[in-house]
Chain A
Amino acid sequence: MRAPDTNEILLQVEGVSLAFGGVKALTEVSFDIMKGEIRAIIGPNGAGKTSMLNVINGFYHPDHGAITFKGRTRARMRPFEASRGGIARTFQNVALFRGMSALDNIMAGRTLKMRRGLLWQMLRYGPALAEEIEHRHRVEEIVDFLEIEAIRKVPVARLPYGLQKRVELGRALAMEPDLLLLDEPMAGMNLEEKEDMSRFIVDVNDHYGTTIALIEHDMAVVMDLSHRVVVLDYGVKIADGTPDEVKKNQAVIDAYLGVIH
């Protein structure tokens, strides 16, 4: 794995705690994500991984602790502020606009980048048209990158699961994010689809330089893809380091790994 270029920290999670009633989802979790790296967040089911992403993304507000992103520290952030700040996200259960085609879904990702206002848009003329063409161009580049030309016009509800995940990735990419959060991108995929998705993730990191944080269960994928790994168990961080270091960590092995390939 090629190491990331800089040692600049893009996201810092500090002492984040989150509880739902009596259930402690996260307890005093701290770690950082460096610019340009692929960071995996792993752990047994219920370890708090998705909650962690939701906190980073603004869907949940931590009870204690703070997130520092691109130098700005915020305790509470709303989802659309996270999006505007440069964080894009995919979901475990694929949040796509079901009524729209794959192309329109990816176009939706350009929403934040569209500048022209109401009146121009209504007339669809002049600067608004030029802007629309530019957005379409970017979206087509993503379509080409993800090799989904053949399903451009298909309504996403009709696509097989693996392709839906790819379209969702496309939509996140269309936002040109600084940080890409992927929640179990390979869930439910067969071997060939996993290989394709891995290739795309690596390419995104390589080609666009996007920092990626991903939650994943498939150990082989995690070890292969990521630069560094954070391990959570029952909401507590139990390990933090390179894949090799984590693989050998006894606490991690005890937590849930039987065998790592």
Chain B
Amino acid sequence: MAVGGSLDTFPKLLVRNAAQFSSRPAFRHKDLGIWQTWTWTQVAEIVRAYAAGLQRLGLQRGDTIAIVGSNRPKLYWTVMAAQTLRAIPVPVYSDAVADELAYVLAHADVKFVAAQDQEQVDKVLSVSGLVPHLHKIVYDEPRGLRDYDHSRLVAIDEVIEDGRAALAADATLGGQIDDIIRQGEGSDISIILYTSGTTGASKGVMLSARGCIDAATDTVRFDRLTDNDVALAYLPLAWVGDHYLNYAQGLAAGFCMACPEGRETIEQDLREIGPTFYFAPPRVFENMLTRMMIRMEEAAGIKRRMFTYFLGIARRHGESILTGKPVPVSGRLLYALGRLMVYEPLKNALGLSRVRVAYTAGEAIGPDLFEFYRSIGLNLKQLYGQTEAFLYVTCQPDGEIYSDTVGPAAPNVDIRIAESGEVQFRSPGMFVGYFKDQAKTAETLTSDGYVKTGDAGFFDDKTGHLKIIDRAKDVGRLADGTMFAPKYLENRLKFFPNIKEAVAYGDSREFVCAILNIDPAAVANWAERNNIAYGSYQELAGNPRVYDMVAKDVAEVNRSLAEEKVMAGAQIRRFLILPKELDADDGELTRTQKVRRGFIAERYAPLVTALYNGSYEADISTEVTFEDGRKGVIAARVKIRDLQISRSTESLGKAA
């Protein structure tokens, strides 16, 4: 099969991989207790048959096909098959509720939907009335669907079989498919990813094939990824990170994408697969560390002392050893011993033994956390980006890793800081536009073709790396003019293990207040050890000793803010602990776990009022949605605490 020109579409890459990496594993999936493997040759054959089958069902160039489910080989192959036919895949978050799903399906005007299982099929059917052009639903797992009306429903396996049979029967069909692949151009839209906006409705980000592939090829080179690498695909299919890090890089480098068995087995599967490339948002790393610490505290004395001692060694020498800097021989020896006894077993238990490169992004990561993982030998780096960039805007190169920056510009990416402090960029992977929304697209691009990220940031003098402060529109001013960057404060608060989530308010107000969520695992553990009885999260959240403990953490944040000229005036004056965990299902967080400050302020208006009028308690009563969809009400009397403001050696600064 001759493929014309350079490799500027994913189908062409697949063909190349089948030729070049033919028997290397391309996909793995744990099914029925065993890891099944498909090689590149097998995948290419399956995708070709699948594309033929889809074509026979009526999928054509330019059509949109939605994909809803978790990471499964058949769903990834749906993306590939759609791209083969120059149709456009539109992945949707699998935990989207019916309304969200309906919006995306209707907006993208999909003709086809690929659903993972009965649950997703049910959701799609329930909103199918709102999707006028929906023609067929193809599904992966047949369980429970036996008795459904199959006039619009068909199993993916059947589609593939049908395609195979058709290819075998008709010699020209294969040639037709190959022609379509050949005709694919770099400017084709290879995927539309809907961003979950913290405000407003989702927008469909259109990405071009050439853009995706160029960007992926650059980072593959940057991180030296090859066909020998393995990644665990466990983050949502609909998220740009998964499409970039697993799919695009996977096709570009030829490495293996492993799909876990299910959500509950991700940890075990991670251990079993031992990926060489790993990405997780900061909270995952946090959770891993918290769990580890909890277990350590229950271990025998000797083990604990050994653990603490060697972690100290790691803290001193780990980073230097990781980046190849000089270290005294005694340090090296101790570190090697530590590796044998502590670091490697630790990484093994987390499944991270073989990881060569690990990235984190999305939220700021606590410096302690970051340094911890690096000190035990995990090459953890930060990147910064957004869907509109096809992920990477910056990434940290080996040797220049700092916990408080996101790194210099990624290869071939051009970054500048606007007058307003907003970060703007131009990159090979940048989006083509928002689907069916020319106006928004124009708003997001500057006249000279730079994308406005909407984030405020600056380049650090010492390192030349980019530092992100907050969402530009969220950066406000207090009544006295001091800069108020809520996310900056919230991140500082969340670094403490007891605080899981924080929401800061202060724009146009006299001072800064915070609504906090305690971390259930860490605080429950502390309560057990201190013999504090509680019957529910609400009770624990309201306990005065818990408040004392949290107050100390907030005071610590205030102290560190006091040392920063610009931020000193933004210390947190009052706070309260919310009796309920903030939840995406209640609309308080986005699907990517970012806080929606405006929504929360409205929902808990009585609390915000009480915070600012000096009251020491307030009553709230809110409706909540349980996991099975039922509604209930949480009512509570919430206490509010004051804090002392720290003074620094310098006087308070005002915004310039």
Contact = CB atoms under 8 A, between A and B. Distances in A.
A81 interface: no
B264 A140 contact: no
A192 B268 CA distance: 25
Contact of B262 (A136, A137, A145, A150): A150
A149 B260 CA distance: 11
Interface string B250-277: 0000000000011011001000000000
B223 to A, nearest CB: 32
A141 B268 CA distance: 19
Contacts, number: 22
Interface in B26-78: 32-34
Contacts of B32: 137, 140-141, 143-144
Contacts of A70: none
Contacts of B265: 149-150
Nearest to A103: B33
Question: Would you call the interface of chain A mostly helix, strand, loop, or mixed?
Answer: helix
Interface in A137-157: 137, 140-141, 143-145, 149-150, 152
A118 to B, nearest CB: 27
A144 B261 CA distance: 10
A150 B33 contact: no
Contacts of A137: 32
Nearest to A152: B33
Contact of A136 (B33, B143, B264, B268): B33
Contacts of B34: 140
A150 B261 CA distance: 9
Interface in A183-212: 192
A140 B33 contact: yes
A137 B264 CA distance: 21
Interface in A86-104: 103
Contacts of B33: 103, 136, 140, 143, 149, 152
Interface residues of B, number: 10
Interface in B415-470: none
A150 B33 CA distance: 10
Question: Would you call the interface of chain B mostly helix, strand, loop, or mixed?
Answer: loop
Interface string B231-266: 000000000000000000000000000000110110
Contacts of A149: 33, 261-262, 264-265
Nearest to A140: B32
Interface string A100-144: 000100000000000000000000000000000000110011011
Nearest to A203: B144
Contacts of B261: 149
Contacts of A144: 32
A101 B94 CA distance: 32
B270 to A, nearest CB: 13
A99 B165 CA distance: 50
Contacts of B628: 192
Interface in A42-83: none
A140 B262 CA distance: 14
Contacts of A136: 33
B246 to A, nearest CB: 22
A141 B141 CA distance: 13
A136 B32 CA distance: 9
B263 to A, nearest CB: 9
A150 B263 CA distance: 9
A199 to B, nearest CB: 10
Nearest to B30: A149
Nearest to A153: B268
Interface string A146-177: 00011010000000000000000000000000
A143 B31 CA distance: 11
A137 B143 CA distance: 16
Q: Which of A137, A144, A149, A192 has its CB near the most chain B CB atoms (within 10 A)?
A: A149
Interface string B6-37: 00000000000000000000000000111000
22 contacts: A103-B33, A136-B33, A137-B32, A140-B32, A140-B33, A140-B34, A141-B32, A143-B32, A143-B33, A144-B32, A145-B143, A149-B33, A149-B261, A149-B262, A149-B264, A149-B265, A150-B262, A150-B264, A150-B265, A150-B268, A152-B33, A192-B628
Given A136-B33, A141-B32, 9 more contacts: A137-B32, A143-B32, A143-B33, A144-B32, A149-B33, A149-B261, A150-B264, A150-B265, A152-B33
Minimum-distance CB pairs A-B, first 7: A140-B32, A150-B264, A140-B33, A150-B265, A149-B261, A149-B265, A149-B262
